Structure 1
């Protein structure tokens, strides 16, 4: 892919999924996890610079991109953040990294939140981009949240209503989710958008991504309830878009200080897609936080 010149491609079998990834660099290991409805291509503006300091690992989450699409199961646990986090820890172990830093955006940040709780000895530093905890979002949802995040409630509907509707117009859905018809749509590289569309045209990707959201509204909430009093042990950086839904509706820094022992963070001058809308600011914030 032209977006990642010099990055090697790998596919790693974790036992439950086969994870597609790219990697480059020779420094300390750094795992970057993408969000919805994207792939690892979302990191194309940050990864080359980060690879000068770190060994950067860019996977597609299970169900997304060119990673495999295992079944979700009756309880959707196959796409629970616990299973998705376990994939990535196994990937890093296979690459020879038993301890690493990680950055997650959107769904990837939810996977990273769970990873910090389940694997505190492996994650040494974590950065969460433009999220608040899933349980809090559902527990405090109001009209403003439901209007802005309508897809949270659409995608969790019983199979196969959302799958059928999305399969009828996958490109239009990608454009809607990225806001490509509005002001500022030029921030997305055409090559990256083409990659998102290519992957989302696969009905298996559409179904898997629905299962991701169904898991968030079921098995993830149960897991979060069990760990409600467990705090993230590693240093945590929280970044959010000052113009995003998270930035408008919440106080992210205060919220995450209730969930972690060592938290810092700031708003960036952008919307939801920080690495693509504000790459320089995102890179500067990450660079000041990560150890390399």
Structure 2
């Protein structure tokens, strides 16, 4: 472990994993679950989850890899830094830098990464900014951010309303959600996942514990505000740059992304070497159909 690491203890949600708070050296501490042995594999969660979203697949992945699953900055029990007018502290570039510092601090200069939802957007920037570090990358149920904004229509704006709600100036979305965070969180998760029971009550309560924190709500809104502003500017500046690591795109055939986009093609516009597969689920394959998700990941990462 790196200097400045505080070991919390065994994870209550991911069998065989240890929780630590790791100071990555830029003023950010990341709550991180680590388990297994072998080549390093970084797992990045999405919104509104935390690293706990990997609970059904991480133990078996840990039979083949050293698995590192942090909470992204702003999420879960990780640091929630002050933002600024440009939302730069919650840009994918800064969040990707957190991950590079985390992995380097753990002694890994080259590693594979799997990113779901917002974590996939961090993984996209990580694979662009640190091309020699990322060996393989998996994007779960996303098309590139700039592509999704550029192709927005009524159907997408209706189904993914939070993309446009959370980016409203503070404190509008923060205050409205904080009036009943459990209602908002339940509606969000149930609307996205298409497999009943995929998020059991204990896990929902863990997500809610984090989501109901006013600092977390503000950080999440800032992350979405960054996605609609500074992240798009960074993407435009790197418009000709391509991911050189092999890419696997996985998406839920029952979800919005799979129904509205040719997901594999959107990533062929951003990367040199792309495979893609639709899965029989909604937005969160790792929670809805963990066995099939594991098979896809192990086949690609082997």
Name 1:225's counterpart in structure 2.
236
What SS is found at the alignment partner of 1:206? helix
1:155 and 1:181 map into 2 onto residues whose CA distance is: 16
CA positional deviation for 1:71: 1.2
Is contact 1:110-1:134 (8 Å) kept?
yes
1:140 and 1:114 map into 2 onto residues whose CA distance is: 20
Is contact 1:175-1:181 (8 Å) kept?
no
1:182 and 1:3 map into 2 onto residues whose CA distance is: 20
Is contact 1:3-1:191 (8 Å) kept?
no
CA positional deviation for 1:2: 2.9
The answer to whether structure 1 residue 153 and structure 2 residue 164 are counterparts is yes
Q: Aligned pair in 2 of structure 1 residues 177, 53: CA closer, same or farther (>3 Å)?
A: same
CA positional deviation for 1:254: 1.1
1:181 and 1:59 map into 2 onto residues whose CA distance is: 22
CA positional deviation for 1:278: 1.3
Is contact 2:32-2:70 (8 Å) kept?
yes
Name 1:16's counterpart in structure 2.
27
Q: TM-score, normalised by structure 2?
A: 0.94
CA positional deviation for 1:6: 2.0
Name 2:259's counterpart in structure 1.
248
1:49-60 matches, within 5 Å, as 49-60=60-71
Aligned length in residues: 291
The answer to whether structure 1 residue 4 and structure 2 residue 20 are counterparts is no
CA positional deviation for 1:11: 1.3
Note the residue ranges of structure 2 that are not aligned, 5 or more in a row. Answer: 1-10
CA positional deviation for 1:138: 0.7
Name 1:84's counterpart in structure 2.
95
1:91 and 1:257 map into 2 onto residues whose CA distance is: 29
Name 1:185's counterpart in structure 2.
196
CA positional deviation for 1:181: 11
Q: Aligned pair in 2 of structure 1 residues 182, 101: CA closer, same or farther (>3 Å)?
A: closer
RMSD over aligned Cα, in angstroms?
1.3
Q: Aligned pair in 2 of structure 1 residues 230, 180: CA closer, same or farther (>3 Å)?
A: closer
Q: Aligned pair in 2 of structure 1 residues 290, 216: CA closer, same or farther (>3 Å)?
A: same
Name 1:262's counterpart in structure 2.
273
Q: How big is each residue's C-alpha offset from its partner over 1:30-52, in whole Å with a ceiling of 9 and x where there is no partner?
A: 00000001100000000000000
Aligned match of 1:290 in 257, 277, 301?
A: 301
1:181 and 1:140 map into 2 onto residues whose CA distance is: 20
Q: How big is each residue's C-alpha offset from its partner over 1:135-177, in whole Å with a ceiling of 9 and x where there is no partner?
A: 1111110000000000000000000000001111111111011
CA positional deviation for 1:184: 3.3
Q: Aligned pair in 2 of structure 1 residues 183, 276: CA closer, same or farther (>3 Å)?
A: closer
Q: TM-score, normalised by structure 1?
A: 0.97
What SS is found at the alignment partner of 2:33? strand
1:1-292 matches, within 5 Å, as 1-14=11-24, 15-179=26-190, 184-291=195-302
Is contact 2:195-2:281 (8 Å) kept?
no
Is contact 1:65-1:199 (8 Å) kept?
yes
Is contact 2:192-2:282 (8 Å) kept?
no
